Amino acid sequence: MTTSTAAVLGLVAMAVVSLGAGLFARRWARTTSDFMVAARAVPPRVNAAAISGEYLSAASFLGIAGLVMQFGYDVLWYPVCYAGGYLLLLLFIAGPLRRFGAYTIPDFAEGRFDSPRFRRLAVALVLVIGFFYALPQMKAAGLTVETASGLPYGVGIGIVAVVVVAGVVGGGMRGITFVQSLQFAVKLFAISVPAFLLLIHFSGTGVPFARGAGGLARLTTTTNFQVTRGELWQIPAATKVHVSRPADLRWQRQAPTASSGAPAAGFEGGTGPKGRVNASRANRLHLEGVGLVPKGTITWESSDLVTVARGQPAPFGSQTPASTTSAWMGPFGPLAGGTGHPLLFTYSLIMAILLGTIGLPHILVRFYTNPDAKASRRTALLVLVLLGAFYVWPPIFGALGRSYDPSLYGSNLTDAVVLILPSQLGAGWLGQTLSAIVAAGAFAAFTSTLSGLLVSLGGALGHDVYGRWLRPASGPTARRRAFQLSALGAGLAAGALGLLVERFDISVLVGWAFAIAASSFFPLLVLGIWWRRLTTLGASVGVALGGGIATCSIITTMVATVSTPLAAFLAHHSNLAVVLAQPAIVTVPIAFGCMVGISLLRPSPSAGVSAKMVQLHAPELLGLRREYIPD
């Protein structure tokens, strides 16, 4: 592990700036409205930067590069659909939702359908999606602090939880708006400049897509791996390894099932087991000094320091299916190709991310901070520009990582490629400075998204659970106290849960939050805004079924990674496994079908629906505006 003073300095600087700016902004945040929606007094450019800052989470800053390094081309759908989802938000939601004056999804649910009961359902789903989205941010926090300073994973989570909770509890929405716009600038700088300099640095040694010798990722430096007992390695081609003391290991010829549920794909053909090993079902190997390990999968039976020389094929750890460069580079590579139904998987992934953006609870809040629908649309367009400028870069990091530091595959550290790759520029000032910059960028990424999520979660708990159900008679001060306490509680809970998800990929976790949002809130918002015949019953059943089935199938997939019988069952039913791991392609139509079907079968014409449509769609210049939120 690289322990870099510069990276630690980058982290500390960003933590101090975030805390300081948040606390400084505290003196503006006086009323509940300031706290929740920044009193609509935020200039559009600052607002657009804040939206982008909040949207570009750890999944964007670290996760995409890590996944591109692991899986190649198929991962490009993530950044493109993250940005594309924002276009859909602009097209269908931005203007009307601002006019309606609903600033959270529960507000919209209640305001559009006059149903407090429906509001509760929406609050429950906000909590589910919010926590699912907070987990990968926490993982990123632990990973970043671990990579930069060598402190344990849990300590990083603790530090970040404290910084974020302090910012949210202290400054509220108004405070974090300014912090988040600042954090966007840090993130864009921290991803683009190092990627650009790395491109220049490596341009002398060939483009990252060069067909490597034999189509394998080969180590660029002699690398020491600390392996632990039970650790699994995939060997894509016969590899010479050096063990520090005699080691026993089990060897299997066939490709294993990776943690993501995708069987390894793209093993290079033709370089079968060599030397002294027979290709029976499972073999034992004994290594002393230098030994040749044949292509296949090995499990270390003792902890050891293993050295693999420069130029040898990079071993792959359990988290990444071993792949050849050509499989990695083309469509339907190890990510989609490994599922057995690449086209189905790809379309389901596109659907989840594209449609899920609209249903993310912390994204919609931002539209209310615009003065009117026109400003809301223009802000969203500006956000698209900023997102586009950012999302070009993370895949470049991933592609550079495969060519220039494939040792990360063996140590299961691909998620940290953005943090580690700058050290390839050497121990001089440039490498040190870039390490500090990317560490600061990563810190900005997860703190800004976590802040937004905590405002949403705190709002749902403090405003709804406390302010409406537990103590409906409570005053603004009590509610504000409840918001702060809820944000604190949510931060601690997310931190505790974050300790459990170390084994999952950041972007895969985020993909799940998107899938749940796409199957519940997306149809609710689109139909609720544009289809006047949608009934409360139809909307409730659609949200409950779509969101419920998506949540259950994702939990099943998570359980399958620790339960062998379930994993074996899913391995035999690959159709089911694909759908469970990426449920949007089934659950989005279910949600839409329920909403439309039930609304048509049991129509209940509401007298107020025309007035609601006027609120949603009539231009503000007509002067018909009635704010749903009176504050």
Binding site for other proteins (CB under 8 A): 73, 76-77, 79-81, 83-84, 86-88, 90-92, 95, 207, 209-210, 326, 329-332, 342-343, 346-347, 350, 354, 373-374, 377-378, 380-381, 384-385, 387-389, 391-392, 395, 530, 610-611, 613-614, 617-626
Query: Which residue do the tokens 């203007």 mark?
Result: 95
The answer to whether 354 and 589 are in contact (CB under 8 A) is no
Residue 424 and residue 431 in contact, taking contact as beta carbons nearer than 8 Å? yes
Strands (E) located in 158-295: 223-227, 232-235, 239-243, 247-252, 283-287, 290-293
Name which of 35 and 73 has its Cβ closer to other proteins: 73
For the CB of residue 539, give the shortest distance to other proteins in the complex, in Å: 18
- Calculate the dihedral angle through the C-alpha atoms of 19, 431, 507, 496, rounding to the nearest 10 degrees: -40
CB atoms within 10 A of CB 469: 11
Q: How far is the CB of 79 from other proteins (least distance, A)?
A: 7
The H or E element containing residue 296 is strand 296-300
Q: How far is the CB of 522 from other proteins (least distance, A)?
A: 12
Which CB atom, from 162 or from 384, has the smaller least distance to other proteins? 384
Closest distance of CB 379 from other proteins, Å: 10
Closest CA to 290 of 267, 318, 273, 312: 312
Contacts of 589 (CB under 8 A, 6+ apart): none
CB of 515 to other proteins, least distance (A): 17
In the bound state with other proteins, the residue whose beta carbon lies nearer, of 502 and 620, is: 620
* Shortest distance (Å) from residue 324 CB to other proteins: 13
Name the residue nearer to other proteins (CB basis): 94 or 501: 94
246 burial level (CB within 10 Å; 0-12, 13-18, 19+): exposed
Residue whose CB is less far from other proteins, 479 or 612: 612
CB of 377 to other proteins, least distance (A): 5
C-beta atoms surrounding 99 within 10 Å: 25
The CA-CA-CA angle for residues 66, 150, 184, to 5°, reads 50
Minimum CB separation from other proteins for residue 354, in Å?
7
Give whichever of 85 and 321 is closer to other proteins, judged by the CB atom: 85
**Residue 48 or 227: which CB sits closer to other proteins?**
48
Burial class of residue 269, CB neighbours in 10 A (0-12, 13-18, 19+): exposed
C-alpha 534: how far from chain center: 32
* Minimum CB distance to other proteins, residue 517 (Å): 17
Closer CB to other proteins, residue 218 or residue 612?
612
Identify whether the C-beta of residue 89 lies closer than 8 Å to the C-beta of residue 363: yes
Q: Are strands 290-293 and 232-235 parallel, antiparallel or unpaired?
A: unpaired
In the complex with other proteins, the residue whose CB is nearer, 317 or 401, is 401
